[in-house]
Copies of this chain bind each other. A is one copy, B any other.
Amino acid sequence: MVEPFKCDCNGRYTYPHLGNCLLNAADFHAAERKFGYVDLNAIDKSWVLSRLAIEMVEMPLPYTRLMVSTWLESAKRFFTRRNWAVKDCDGRTYGYASSVWAMIDKTTRQPVDVLSVSDGCMADYAVPDESVPIDAPSRVSINERETKEVRVLTTAFSDIDVNGHVNSIRYIEHAIDCIPSDILCNRRIRRLEAAYVAESYLGDRLHFLLDHPNEDEWSYIIAREAVDGDEREVCRVKVVIAS
Please, how many angstroms separate the alpha-carbon atoms of A88 and B182 in the complex? 43
Interface residue? A181 (CB, 8 A): yes
* Contact A5 to B162, CB < 8 A, known contacts A157-B184, A184-B157: yes
Please, how many angstroms separate the alpha-carbon atoms of A149 and B176 in the complex? 28
Please, how many angstroms separate the alpha-carbon atoms of A23 and B156 in the complex? 24
* Contact A160 to B9, CB < 8 A, known contacts A202-B181, A203-B181: yes
Chain copies in the assembly? 2
The minimal Cβ–Cβ distance linking A74 to chain B, given in whole angstroms, is: 24
Interface residue? A111 (CB, 8 A): no
Contact partners of A176 in chain B: CB under 8 A: 157-158
Interface residue? A143 (CB, 8 A): no
Interface residue ranges of A136-180 to B (CB < 8 Å): 156-158, 160-164, 167, 169, 173-174, 176-177, 179
The minimal Cβ–Cβ distance linking A123 to chain B, given in whole angstroms, is: 25
The minimal Cβ–Cβ distance linking A49 to chain B, given in whole angstroms, is: 11
Contact partners of A233 in chain B: CB under 8 A: none
Please, how many angstroms separate the alpha-carbon atoms of A221 and B62 in the complex? 32
A164–B202 contact, CB under 8 A? no
Bitwise, A1-44 to B at CB < 8 A (1) or not (0) is 00111111101001010001001100100000000010000000
